Amino acid sequence: MESVDTVLDRVWPAQLRTDRLLLRPVTREDGPLVSELLTDDRVRAHLGGPVTEDRVAARQAAYSTMAGAFTVVRVADERPVGLVIIGADHRCEGRAEVSYQLLPAAWGEGLGREAVAAAVSWWTDAVPGGGPLVAVTQKANTASRRMLEAIGMTVVDELDEHGARQCLYTPAGDQDDSDLRWVRLLAERRDAVERRRGSQARATAAGQNLPDDLAALTPEELARLCPARHGAYGRICARMADHTPDLHLGRAQDGAWIAWLTTADTS
């Protein structure tokens, strides 16, 4: 399966049209729209709150060059009213994620549903080899969940992220749904392998001496650890600085620390 970024580069730029909307690539002229969306309390209520000025500037620059980033334009008055973005899902390699934000002035008209449905259809039907697609929204965000369900998406998983419970949706009944479940099965098997490796590596002095809460380490103690982030689970390395990077420590899905060796296959 091709990577999401590779697929997007091949089919981008793209424009999508619906009865009331035009979805076109984000441009630098959409900077004010991006700023308004990222700093509005109502828009960001379930997205971690308004972002800083530095992050606004970074996203204004990034979106205007990003394959898969659509500006949603209301055709009746030619006004940009939101963003719909399809990009690589950072949680799972080979999987795409659709995200969306709409100005409050455009709420209540079904425009978000129309825009997201167009983007999802484009990816699942018109993008060959695109692979599975998901949308993630807070469980408490009932409006977003109703919208996703209204366009035919269904919950396949729940996860904790950004301090809140999230629902993971995918198009129901599509081949992508089967692809997604297969990807999840492979991920679960990888988790089990890394846990077994971790159980064998726990006895090392480095693993035993690290506290469960790394915030308890003093700056001097942190400075003695390798700053690299190795491996699929790498959060912090369990070895001292200037070592051969083969012993690593990270969080398992249940929140427990695990450690594993990359120089020996214990699976």
- Count how many residues are written for the chain: 267
> CA nearest 151: which of 165, 174, 134, 171?
171
| Sequence-distant contacts of 211-217: CB under 8 A, at least 24 apart | 212/257
Instruction: Give yes or no for a contact between 82 and 43, defined as CB atoms under 8 angstroms apart.
Output: no
pLDDT at 90 over 90: no
Helix residue ranges per DSSP H, 97-174 = 111-121, 142-150
Instruction: Record the tokens describing residue 90, joined without a space.
Output: 């950072």
Instruction: Give yes or no for a contact between 109 and 18, defined as CB atoms under 8 angstroms apart.
Output: no
* DSSP helix/strand/coil, 102: strand
pLDDT of residue 264: 41
Cα(183)–Cα(203) distance, rounded to whole angstroms? 32
Instruction: Record the tokens describing residue 38, joined without a space.
Output: 């990222």
| Burial zone of 96 (CB within 10 Å; 0-12 exposed, 13-18 middle, 19+ buried) | buried
Cα(124)–Cα(49) distance, rounded to whole angstroms? 31
Cα(84)–Cα(101) distance, rounded to whole angstroms? 7
Amino acid at 235: R
Which pLDDT band holds residue 17 (cuts at 50, 70, 90)?
A: very high
**pLDDT tens per residue, range 138-153:** 999 999 999 999 998 8
**pLDDT tens per residue, range 93-115:** 778 999 999 999 999 999 999 99
pLDDT at 132 over 60: yes
Mean pLDDT of all residues in 181-205: 51
Instruction: Give yes or no for a contact between 152 and 124, defined as CB atoms under 8 angstroms apart.
Output: no
**pLDDT tens per residue, range 153-177:** 888 888 888 778 889 898 875 544 5
User: Distance between alpha carbon 263 and the CA centroid of its chain, in Å?
Assistant: 30
Instruction: Record the tokens describing residue 128, joined without a space.
Output: 């060959």
Instruction: Record the tokens describing residue 55, joined without a space.
Output: 């992050």
Other C-beta atoms lying within 10 Å of the C-beta of residue 267: 10
